[in-house]
Amino acid sequence: MNVAVVGTGYVGLVAGACLAETGNRVVCVDIDREKVEALRRGEIPIYEPGLEELVKRNVEAGRLSFTTDLASAVKPARVAFIAVGTPPDEDGSADLQHVLAVARDIGRAMEKETVVVTKSTVPVGTAQRVREAVEAETAVPVHVCSNPEFLKEGAAVDDFMKPDRVVVGVDHPAAEEALRELYAPFLRTGNALMVMDIPSAEITKYAANAMLATRISFMNAIAGLCERTGADVDKVRQGIGSDARIGSAFLFPGAGYGGSCFPKDVKALIRTSRELGAPSAILEAVEAVNEAQKQLLLSRVVRRFGGDLSGRTFAVWGLAFKPNTDDMREAPSRVTIEGLLERGAKVVAHDPEAIHEARRVFGDRIAYSKREYDSLDGADALIIHTEWLPYRRPDFAEMKSRMAQPILFDGRNLYAPAMMAGHGFEYYSIGRPVVGASSSAEV
């Protein structure tokens, strides 16, 4: 099948490469000429395991190509995906200007009946606006449908190739037929293709992300209660996660969620709910808990060392909002580091993949380390923000020998408190007892 994918960001690039892998002829479109040229050379602008090899293989096989010419991609296509960004507007709503601009461009380029798919995360009602934008530019039949993505950063290729479900919202048999044919190779093991009306598909994506965000904020709220009662949030998490009605996923407390999806989608769903007069109190609480949680590590550092951090050095392990990605959008590490800098501290950071993004965000306001241990030299404390595998079993003796003080603020609960006490660390985690500190220093 001839497929056009407009947008070579996270969603568009993964979708285009995976669709090409199953034999389709896919043309990915982007207005950034330098980015297109880089992609043609096999240079991938994001870190995503397996993606670089997938792109190179399909480019070499002639199934995947990149262009800045939208019309040349759309004219032969049976299906055209819109996968451009929908950044949050000032009021929290999704900014649809790029989606609608692409829809108009597709309408001007179409020469035959085409299925236009909104792959970008968009509010309910967007498909109808896309349809109107396309039809205003053409008399050729168009079938607009919704096909939200549920990819996890760090596992996106596997998620696309082996989905637990594919959701499509359609209102015409031609659109359903095309999408069934397109996704058939990915559903051979019996995973579901869920066909529904378009508004239901649009809401499904937002509802899924909001539910996962809710679980995270719920556990962070419970972690705060555990700290005030002497309970251990890990034991509580295991206790409730063993209930089959609840399950164990997304019940890990931490320094707050970030990334390109959860913060943006929760805000957009709140905005949509308010506009339609629907209750949004739960969503507003989820967002409020998360914003407070992002301040938690900074507040603990301040309580431990005081408000003036001049002359202090802090090592930060992990900058990306989660492991296996270089994405720092809405990352809790940004809140912590900005707060440390505002109080006069020096920050030395390490991350296996996000250093280039950190340089864009912080420039030379912080220092960067190629090895995680080198960031500890003379540090008054270590702050862990991302649960990268190399951080899970470090050499604690080397850590202590390099640090000015063996103090660790763990925003991901990587280590057992008893083990850290045995290694002689003053250790602060989330929802668990502090170890190695005087009662006056416990935060």
Only one residue has tokens 């057992």, namely 416
Taking each helix axis as running N to C, give the angle between helix 126-135 and helix 198-229, from 0 to 180 degrees, rounded to the nearest 10: 150
What CA–CA distance (Å, rounded) separates 248 from 10? Answer: 27
Q: In what order do the strands lie in the sheet with 381-384?
A: 367-368, 346-350, 313-317, 381-384, 407-410, 426-428
Quick one: tokens of 4?
């056009």
28 carries an active-site annotation: no
**Pair of tokens at residue 234:** 């890990």
H or E segment to which residue 103 belongs:
helix 97-109
**CA-CA distance, 282 to 265, in Å (whole number)?**
14
Q: How many CA atoms lie within 13 A of 370 on its CB side?
A: 0
DSSP letters, 258-288, are -SSSHHHHHHHHHHHHHHHT---HHHHHHHH
> Which residues, in sequence order, are CB contacts of 233 under 8 Å at separation 6+?
219, 222, 223, 226, 227, 253, 413, 430, 431, 432
Which of these is catalytic: 18, 28, 145, 261?
A: 261
Which residues carry out catalysis? 261
